[in-house]
Structure 1
Amino acid sequence: MVVAYKPQKAGTKSLLLFSLFSQHSKPVSVKQTKQAHARIIVSGLTANTQLMAHLLCSLALSSSTPFHYSLSLYHSITRPTVFASNNMIRCFSKSHSPRHSLLLYSSMLRRSCYSQPNNHTFTFLLQACSEASALCEGAQVHAQALKHGSADFVFVRNALIHFYCSCSSTECSKRVFDDNARSRDIVTWNSMLAAFVRGGQIDNARKVFDEMPQRDVISWSTVISGYVQNGRLEEGLECFKEMRDKGMRLNEATSVSVLSASAQMGLLEHGRLVHSLVESLKLPLTVSLGTALIDMYAKCGCIEQSKHLFDNMPLRDIWTWNVMICGLASHGLAKEALEHFERLTNDGLCPANVTFIGVLGACSRAGLVSEGRHYFKLMTDKYGIQPEMEHYGCMVDLLGRAGFVDEAAEMIDKMTVPPDPVLWATLLGACKMHGSIELGEKIGNKLIQLDPTHDGHYVQLASIYAKAKKWEDVVRVRRLMVAKNTNKAAGWSLIEAQGKVHKFVAGDREHERSHEIYKMLETIETRIAEAGYSPNVSSVLHDIGEEEKENAIKEHSERLAMAFGLLVTGDGDCIRIVKNLRVCEDCHEVSKIISKVFGREIIVRDGSRFHHFKEGKCSCHDYW
């Protein structure tokens, strides 16, 4: 707060204005700094170097520093002290031109008679080099710090570790860390931990974490984030459990990381636990935290909760909109996804490439061909976004499944980037669906050449031949599949129950309640047969009898998970399952019948989308 001005002696005025900066508990705003500057001018104290330097200090600490104003203040000081120069360097480091800090440092050296650098100078210079990812210049600053005897001061060493980490030079960070084991504080350890995490060396990060003499919430948050970023989700959640057991308080960064892990694994109860902790600790609903919660609920099958959170968010950015649009698309709510896109643009936000992945994905999952064509054209013509593989994938899937196979093939031929095998496989699936034998044969053989160990390409091609009654070709492809020793992608299904995550694979008998699960499978088979179910074994490509094929389908991973869910959840409770592969036609039909016969809502997140099974129907309307 700015003190009201009263005419006083010059010395008293100086002391009064100085106290504004030196005793303020929080950084003052730019507006307050300008008010103080005006008082200094009115009081005739602009020649007071100390006061002007403190004005610069308040700007350097401000979250939004008006760079040109800072520079004009600095230039108004006839003989800047090292304190003034350091704060100007700090202002430069937060500007769009952080490298200008180095020019100012050179100027300091030339005027060394009254502005010799000190330890803080190197800290701020390294901060600027970190912002600019200026490895060469930062290395020169390192040399200067050594020359001036500052490199062993702990906060300079911390800045060096952070700088090399920012420039992706983890080994240099490690050398600085190892140079002087006696000159370390918790920031040093956390900086080294962050360097390993940023470099993707999560095992080295864990080693540093385990060796730390003490840890704070930043230490825990960094290692948890490392596990999640490197796809080691279960280890990240286990580390979070350790953190809570140690009595550490949750912060925003940890919350976002754990919510991300919960979202990717589809662990609703775990995500709800984090949400309840966030609320109990009264953490503010920032854009990052709110977006992470929306994403978690969407990916755990609770799209209504996502919509509620989105509508009540005090602030949203483009990523919040992207998460909401992609979430609606994955649940088959195409109309709402497109409405959200229109709201986004009406609010003056510019869509990103991810936005259009959500929009085109929504069109693809609902078969909205004309809308998909419109938004694909809008993306390139109006917003200048060049299509990436994901955009082409959505369009090929949309056109192919809707029967426009030739148009999809033409789009691939005209792509500005080389198509990947996944794109060709998408078109191959469309050829199978619509009986495009000649094109399917061509694409199938191309895929086998591109990736001869992927069993799915052989299965699709053999199915196309079978549909055309080309039995000799079916046998040939099957034999080729065996000869090439193909790898089948391992299918699994997860279900969260009784405070644990239970994972099943096809034919799984490793679960501790396996006997009960298979008993429940028998009950399911009896009841769905009574409801008119007849097995569809077209997805089983093996030289075995029909009975064996039926048994193979009965033991698919999602059916085991459903049987377990019926065992451990209460009557009428929703059963939630996460599956890594796209659900097969037979399991999709069985899930619909189970939902009706057992009176349960079953939500399955497969490799493509969400399926909400209820009262014998699916939210995808059998279009997936």
Structure 2
Amino acid sequence: MFAYKPKSLFPSLPKHISNSLLSHSSSSSSSLVSALPPRPSLRQTKQAHAHIIVSGHAAYSPLLSHLLCLLSLSPTTPFHYSLSLYHSIKYPSVFATNNMIRCFAKSDSPLLSLLLFSSSILRSCVKPNNHTFTFLLQACSRAMALTEGAQVHAVVVKLGFGGYVFVSNALIHLYCSCSRIECSKRVFEENVSSRDVVTWNSMLTAFVRDEQIGVAEKLFEEMPARDVISWSTMISGYVQNGRLEQGLACFKRMREEGIRMNEATLVSVLSASAQLGLLEHGRLVHSLAESLNFPLTACLGTALIDMYAKCGCIEQSKLLFKNMTQRDIWTWNVMICGLASHGLGKEALALFDRFVDEGFRPANVTFIGVLGACSRAGLVTEGRHHFKLMTEKYGILPEMEHYGCMVDILGRAGFVDEAVELIEKMTVSPDPVLWATLLGACKIHGSIELGEKIGNKLLELDPTHDGHYVQLANIYAKARKWEDVVRVRRLMAEQNTNKAAGWSLIEAQGKVHKFVAGDREHERSLEIHKMLETIGTRIAEAGYSPNVTSVLHDIGEEEKENVIKEHSERLAMAFGLLVTEAGECIRIMKNLRVCEDCHEVSKIISKVFEREIIVRDGSRFHHFKDGKCSCLDYW
């Protein structure tokens, strides 16, 4: 009753492509391959391969070679399928062999490409070309196989392929991957006439990775042409080497020259903004990403979450995290660590539970965030539980950072003896930072004898570190043992070690303003100090009484009060009150831990002047509002 209508052999292919393949009898072999899309799926390629076999073209090598080429370009090709296709070619050409080498280079065993080269080219009459060596060198780079790469280099020179720009670029990349920068440089200098922008970028990347930023700067300025990769490499080099302001300046130049940024550029600049606490700059980068229609990938989204968290806008970080459709393990880690830095310990632990429930396996950095959250929120029981969970359930061996978090959790909560016991049971030798953490706990809880013992041990371990002298002197100062304070400071002077200068940054009126204690260099210094007097009067009326225990000098009380009222964050707050609108939040970043007196003053200022003040110190965030701090005086 019904006419039979056969199903299409290629249901996933477009109709015009399927029809083209079915009419092979009237089409050339090349049209079979050209009918496929430029980037066919694996299923489409296999369907075309099947049709080639059943239509009697299986022995036609050029057709199979082109299929192999398509497989070599695919990011998800099963390696064994590519190999079986190659073996079905009776007399593989150099084109087919090059594409099989390329498939090997992308596989988990990239050096097998050398065996294929040896067996299929060196031992046959097939002559290699410049593409052969490009793919071989890519394989050596991926495996970081310096010895094998050098052997390929020797064949390149012997056969005269060194002048080809793609081969030269692959050689530079190989030596860069194997940390042989001088070899990369030699290849670069030997091929002056065979350079393109990729050559220059490869060499630029080599110097940046080797932390030779000065050399990279010189090369960057010498480049005859720069693309977005050139600019992005230079910016990331500055940021990764801690030269944050120069990274932002380079980004500004890039924008002025009209270069369209890529995702890597945005991520690097967001990292610099985060580390410097520059919220307005971070917001600018966010708006640029949106105006250029960059998709919110896991990488870009994670960078934005990190920036907002480190600039004090944890609510914005949480909103971004909630709205992200793509999250990887680093997204979760950054969000957990962000919550921890703002003292939101219970939220961080709840997020960790969600992270595990969604099937992610925690890494060691995940537990640094979790234990840090417990430390800043004083969650001792939870800290013990998660430390045990890390070691017993997930088999993660504690690193120094994990021990540091646990010592901080126990020490600051008053369990100093338990912290000492934990250090003594460590399978690795504790580093000075760990002892310094315990020394800080001794200061908090007035453990003078133990603090003295640890302090002297630290001075033996690292006599040039100024922080150890300062902490020990603080313990003596708190106990009013001024002779010992003088002795420690004398030791500090003998070692030519000076206390790290405290500084505070505030972003206002399109600029970053930096203050140090007692600063009188700012262009509005007179107004700032007049505002300090106003602040002093108003907080005194509100019941403020100075706490000068952090001042190490055995000097008069009045002089101590004068010293402490000019701490860098107070100058920054005074400036903030001058230049911001009434009710506007004041955001400050400082390099050292906030002292007890400045912490108390900040609380009172927030109430008296009706301002929210967010301070990021060397340990965490403090959100001062209505006379209270988010840390609940536990920092």
TM-score normalised by the chain length of structure 2: 0.95
Aligned match of 2:560 in 549, 556, 559?
549
Is the 8 Å Cα contact of residues 171 and 187 (structure 2) preserved in structure 1? yes
| % identity of equivalent residues | 78
The residue that corresponds to 2:4 in the other structure is none
- Could you tell me how far 1:455 is from its partner in structure 2? 3.9
Does residue 198 of structure 1 match 2:209?
A: yes
Helix, strand or coil at the partner of 1:224: helix
Structure 1 CA distance for aligned equivalents of residues 236 and 267 of structure 2: 9
Structure 1 CA distance for aligned equivalents of residues 531 and 423 of structure 2: 47
Helix, strand or coil at the partner of 1:603: strand
Instruction: List per-residue Cα deviations over 1:6-62 (Å, max 9, x = no partner).
Output: 6545461523312135xx4x4222122112112212212111111111111111111
Helix, strand or coil at the partner of 1:370: helix
Structure 1 CA distance for aligned equivalents of residues 518 and 423 of structure 2: 38
Is the 8 Å Cα contact of residues 287 and 316 (structure 1) preserved in structure 2? yes
Aligned match of 1:16 in 18, 31, 42?
31
- TM-aligned CA distance change 1:66 to 1:7, over 3 Å: closer
Alignment of 1:407-426 (within 5 A): 407-426=418-437
Structure 2 CA distance for aligned equivalents of residues 36 and 249 of structure 1: 39
Helix, strand or coil at the partner of 2:588: strand
Amino acid at match of 1:36: A
Aligned match of 2:83 in 29, 54, 71?
71
The residue that corresponds to 1:610 in the other structure is 621
- Could you tell me how far 1:345 is from its partner in structure 2? 0.8
Does residue 275 of structure 1 match 2:286?
A: yes
The residue that corresponds to 2:177 in the other structure is 166
Helix, strand or coil at the partner of 2:429: coil
Structure 2 CA distance for aligned equivalents of residues 265 and 591 of structure 1: 21
State the number of aligned residues.
Answer: 620
Instruction: List per-residue Cα deviations over 1:415-453 (Å, max 9, x = no partner).
Output: 122211111111111112223232222111111222233
Alignment of 1:3-152 (within 5 A): 3-5=17-19, 7-8=22-23, 10=25, 12=27, 14-20=29-35, 24=37, 26-113=38-125, 115-152=126-163
Structure 1 CA distance for aligned equivalents of residues 237 and 189 of structure 2: 22
Is the 8 Å Cα contact of residues 453 and 487 (structure 1) preserved in structure 2? no
Helix, strand or coil at the partner of 1:608: coil
Does residue 452 of structure 1 match 2:463?
A: yes
Helix, strand or coil at the partner of 1:335: helix
Does residue 379 of structure 1 match 2:384?
A: no
Instruction: List per-residue Cα deviations over 1:232-256 (Å, max 9, x = no partner).
Output: 0000000000000111111101000
Amino acid at match of 1:68: H
The residue that corresponds to 2:532 in the other structure is 521
Is the 8 Å Cα contact of residues 102 and 125 (structure 1) preserved in structure 2? yes
The residue that corresponds to 2:6 in the other structure is none
Helix, strand or coil at the partner of 2:504: strand
- Could you tell me how far 1:479 is from its partner in structure 2? 4.2
Structure 2 CA distance for aligned equivalents of residues 209 and 348 of structure 1: 44
- Could you tell me how far 1:463 is from its partner in structure 2? 4.0
- TM-aligned CA distance change 1:218 to 1:278, over 3 Å: same
Does residue 392 of structure 1 match 2:403?
A: yes
Is the 8 Å Cα contact of residues 470 and 499 (structure 2) preserved in structure 1? no
- Could you tell me how far 1:4 is from its partner in structure 2? 1.2
Amino acid at match of 2:98: N
- Could you tell me how far 1:63 is from its partner in structure 2? 1.5
Amino acid at match of 2:521: E
Helix, strand or coil at the partner of 1:4: helix
Alignment of 1:166-565 (within 5 A): 166-468=177-479, 472-565=483-576
- TM-aligned CA distance change 1:116 to 1:522, over 3 Å: same
Amino acid at match of 1:12: S
Structure 1 CA distance for aligned equivalents of residues 287 and 377 of structure 2: 35
Q: Structure 1 regions of 5+ residues with no counterpart?
A: none
Amino acid at match of 1:93: A
Structure 1 CA distance for aligned equivalents of residues 315 and 294 of structure 2: 23
Q: Structure 2 regions of 5+ residues with no counterpart?
A: 1-12
- Could you tell me how far 1:590 is from its partner in structure 2? 0.6
Structure 2 CA distance for aligned equivalents of residues 527 and 320 of structure 1: 44
Helix, strand or coil at the partner of 1:504: strand
- Could you tell me how far 1:454 is from its partner in structure 2? 3.4
Structure 1 CA distance for aligned equivalents of residues 556 and 466 of structure 2: 20
Structure 1 CA distance for aligned equivalents of residues 478 and 266 of structure 2: 51
- Could you tell me how far 1:350 is from its partner in structure 2? 0.7
Helix, strand or coil at the partner of 1:503: strand
Structure 1 CA distance for aligned equivalents of residues 485 and 171 of structure 2: 63
Q: Which moved more, 1:38-47 or 1:595-604?
A: 38-47
Structure 1 CA distance for aligned equivalents of residues 183 and 492 of structure 2: 49
Give the root-mean-square deviation of aligned CA atoms. Answer: 1.5
Is the 8 Å Cα contact of residues 515 and 569 (structure 2) preserved in structure 1? yes
Q: Which moved more, 1:432-441 or 1:128-137?
A: 432-441
- TM-aligned CA distance change 1:102 to 1:30, over 3 Å: same
- TM-aligned CA distance change 1:510 to 1:239, over 3 Å: same
Does residue 566 of structure 1 match 2:581?
A: no
Helix, strand or coil at the partner of 1:285: coil
- TM-aligned CA distance change 1:409 to 1:9, over 3 Å: closer
Is the 8 Å Cα contact of residues 92 and 100 (structure 1) preserved in structure 2? yes
Structure 2 CA distance for aligned equivalents of residues 476 and 183 of structure 1: 66
